[in-house]
Homo-oligomer: A and B are copies of this chain.
Amino acid sequence: MADLAEVVAAIAARGAEATDRGRVADYIPELAKVSAGHFGIAVVTAAGAEHVAGDADTPFSIQSVSKVFALVEALCRHGEGVWDRVGREPSGSAFNSIIQLELEQGRPRNPFINAGAIAVSDLIAASCEPGAAIGAILARVRALAGDDSIAVDAAVAWSEAVTGYRNAALANYMRSFGTIAGPVDATLSVYFQQCAIAMSCRQLARAGRFLAAGGVQDGVVIVSPERARRINALMLTCGHYDASGDFAFRVGLPAKSGVGGGILAIAPGRASIAVWSPGLSPQGNSLLGTAALEQLAQAMGWSVFNPDL
């Protein structure tokens, strides 16, 4: 078994030097301002040990990685009733595609595509006081990361809101079928704000640790072991939009990516891992982040498909 600290350091060194760094997302103007030069990694073991390297303490926009935490929040509030609104299948189409919604009567295929995440935001809002949903999600993230300084980046949230026409199309379309029940604008506001939460790799890896540890964090049951397994299953099959199959093939870990360049990956029983590099692959996932996770999983033998003989 390789030494984790050495592996993390070597990956960060490679990440800092890489010349092909992908392309920073530009469809949200505020995100386009981030330099492609960043690379950070943080590994927090199930037991709590931390190994970080590179820009591991620089906050970035977690974007769709937030969908994992919003799902946890919704499951805690609504239990398995969440699945009345969203499915659990890979979508077979782009993260913001609306075709599937029309073919399947307004029901999004899973909670990690945009439509599904908007439906989840709406579910959370339904069980909160007006305006309190984003607070509930943020409180959840802060508690999991053990860090009350985590906040929504208002400039990013605003930037998304004023350019988020496709998300508004998805929300209105679902509203016409009753998949979302609340006011469209309010639901979208929750969604845009949750996507704009800013966290560092270290904070993100800490926040995901319970998923590597059977749902428990420092003795507190966040979710049941079964629910932790299931969230990991969803991350594996649906966590990288229409590149989920390839990520499972190459890396073999449950993970959720965001267009801010962050990825949260879980090695069940081993560690929670966060990587960040803003340059994206054509499919919209962090190019160096994916490569880093492939190297880490390979070096440590952490693929869930590894037989551990």
Contact = CB atoms under 8 A, between A and B. Distances in A.
A46 interface: yes
A254 B305 CA distance: 8
Contact of A89 (B90, B102, B228, B303): B90
Given A166-B173, A234-B249, A229 B306 contact: yes
Interface string A79-97: 0000000011111110001
Contacts of A213: 307, 309
Contact of A176 (B165, B214, B234, B242): B165
Given A103-B99, A165-B184, A236-B236, A269 B90 contact: no
Nearest to A232: B305
Interface in A2-33: none
Nearest to A163: B176
A173 B87 CA distance: 23
A245 B89 contact: yes
A76 interface: no
A99 B173 CA distance: 12
Contact of A168 (B109, B172, B237): B172
A182 B184 CA distance: 20
B46 A305 contact: no
Interface string A56-92: 0000000000000000000000000000000111111
Contacts of A304: 268, 304-305
B214 A236 contact: no
Nearest to A215: B307
A166 B178 CA distance: 11
A221 to B, nearest CB: 13
A148 interface: no
Interface string A235-254: 01110001111101110101
A176 B85 CA distance: 26
A185 B153 CA distance: 26
Contacts of A242: 89
A98 B96 CA distance: 13
A129 interface: no
Contacts of A98: 98-99, 101-102, 169, 173
A233 interface: yes
Closest 4 pairs (CB-CB, A-B): A92-B92, A269-B307, A90-B90, A165-B176
Given A169-B171, A214-B307, A233-B305, 6 more contacts: A89-B244, A90-B245, A92-B109, A230-B305, A233-B249, A233-B252
